Amino acid sequence: MASLNPPVCDFGAPLPRFTLPDTTGRLRGSADLMGPKGLLIAFICNHCPYVRAVIDRFVRDAAELQGLGIGVAAVMSNDWDTYPADAPEKMAGFAADHSFTFPYLVDADQSVARAFGAVCTPDFFGYDAGGGLQYRGRLDASRKEAGPPDLRRDLFEAMRGVAERGTGPAEQVASIGCSIKWRAA
């Protein structure tokens, strides 16, 4: 499993518009997910060791960011025919096991991952209240194993800044993770 780093933040890039079903089948649109202070979209999956290393920290940070007015959603775009652990019926259990406070969305045709330019899991995109990209970086310095509990919370600090000032940090460290598992053309 090769690890990938996504590109750095393209400040101000517009939020791609989308509508996807969550794990209950309810359709969720990007406009509906937006919080009063912004929106955080995380491309994750169930099986990736990088996601599994940080999922509890991500859930903690997401809940705190929701309290600051940031909407949060996770998107699963992997080819689950090749990676059955990521199948939609397994997503609900993964979300419940980790106490998600946000919707976990199914990108069956992978069009949303392509619209965002997502390349790996996890891949984080943080938008301001006007839908302009302000953060494309890592959760923290964890890799395939969770780092120590006192790691700087890069994603949380960046999105707190977006909630408070409307801007992300000028310096951002790219996330690292497994490649999105694209369907054969």
Alpha carbon distances (Å) from 174 to 1, 16, 111, 164: 18, 20, 22, 22
Summarised one tens digit per residue, pLDDT across range 131-151 is: 999 999 999 988 888 888 888
DSSP calls for the chain: --EE-PPPP-TTPBPPP-EEEBTTS-EEEHHHH-BTTEEEEEE--SS-HHHHHHHHHHHHHHHHHHHTTEEEEEEE-S-TTT-GGGSHHHHHHHHHHTT-SS-EEE-TTSHHHHHHT--EESEEEEEETTSBEEE---SSS--SS---TT---HHHHHHHHHHHHS---S------EEEP-PPP-
Mean pLDDT of 42-51: 97
More confident residue, 9 or 125: 125
Work out the average pLDDT over 118-134.
97
Predicted confidence at residue 1, as pLDDT, reads 47
Domains of the chain (ranges plus CATH)?
3-179 (3.40.30.10)
Residue 99's alpha-carbon distances to 34, 51, 132, 159, in angstroms, are: 20, 15, 28, 21
Which pLDDT belongs to residue 146?
A: 82
Query: Please, which residues bridge with residue 11 across strands?
Result: none
Specify whether the backbone of 88 is left (phi greater than 0), alpha (psi in -120 to 50) or beta.
alpha
How do residues 11-43 score in pLDDT, each as one tens digit? 999 999 999 999 999 999 999 999 999 999 999
